[in-house]
Amino acid sequence: MLAILAPGQGAQTPGFLEPWLDDPAVRDQLDALSSVAGVDLAHYGTEADAETIRATDIAQPLLVAAGLIAGQALLADGPDPDVVAGHSVGEITAAALAGVLSPADAMAFVGTRGRGMAAASALRPTSMMAVVGGKADEVLAAIEAAGLTAANNNGPGQIVAAGAVEQLAELSANPPARARLIQLSVAGAFHTVHMQPAVAELDALASGLATADPAIRLLSNADGTVVGDGAEFLRRLVSQVGNPVRWDLCLTTLADLGVTGVLELPPAGTLTGIAKRNLKGVALFNLNTPDQLPEARAFVAQHAATRDPEAQA
């Protein structure tokens, strides 16, 4: 049972797309995605520094484009995964790989999402901070006491607080017992009330997008459930901008489905790191460069369940 996961904002690193652009066909594909998103993805994925690609309106299209390029290359001639999921903006990648949105519509959506969230972030200085360790109830109480939102619940031992920078400073001054605080490389309080200005713009865009029902099990960040209706998943993509990510519930669903292998799309490492702590015994693969594709395809073939009824009999 194979799960393919797409990472969210903060996973990007300078130059992470460079190895993929040695292939002229991939460069052409990226140019087409850039035109739709309104962002020079080749430049930002190969030449820009960490601070530049930290910007919301750059990071989000960059991550979705990377996932689409790698995902399509990986799955072009092999079996489909059994389930796909993405963390935050990675949900858009997952939706496209599952067939809910076309690649072009996915890039139009993420371009609008990134610009809208960047504009919302500019209204007031906000950010996000991971709280690692501590007791869950004490962590949540400390987050609430600082006036913050538990914007991402990434499973036992990691909850992300989001809100105004002065509220994050208060949390830093009064951290939960036995917890470590890590400032995230994001430029806003995503998945909180601070992002509501971006929701209306996305809702307007979504009304004009065509959807299809997912061809692969597709998990929702809202509650970890498998969503089988494409239009419903798009509605969730819109509302998720202003609501917490329940990755912990996605992990529970992956475990309940009996997933045996997890492959993370580039820039990989964040979600497999979480899976290592929470999905014991599950094989993990970080796909970051095209030279890994043969090994990655073998991993997919090893873990993907067959859909041939005669082969299953």
- Radius of gyration, CA atoms only, the chain: 19
Give which of 218, 163, 221, 155 is closest to 189, Cα–Cα.
Answer: 163
Q: What are phi and psi of 271, to 5 degrees?
A: -75, -35
3-state secondary structure of 89: coil
Give one DSSP letter per residue of 14-71, joined into a string.
TTTTGGGGGSHHHHHHHHHHHHHHTS-HHHHHHT--HHHHTSHHHHHHHHHHHHHHHH
Q: How far is CA 26 from CA 45, 98, 106, 167, 294, in A?
A: 13, 20, 17, 43, 17
Q: What distance in Å separates the CA atoms of residue 49 and residue 185, rounded to the nearest whole number?
A: 13
Question: Catalytic residue numbers?
Answer: 88, 191
What's the distance, Cα to Cα, between the start and end of the chain in Å? 17
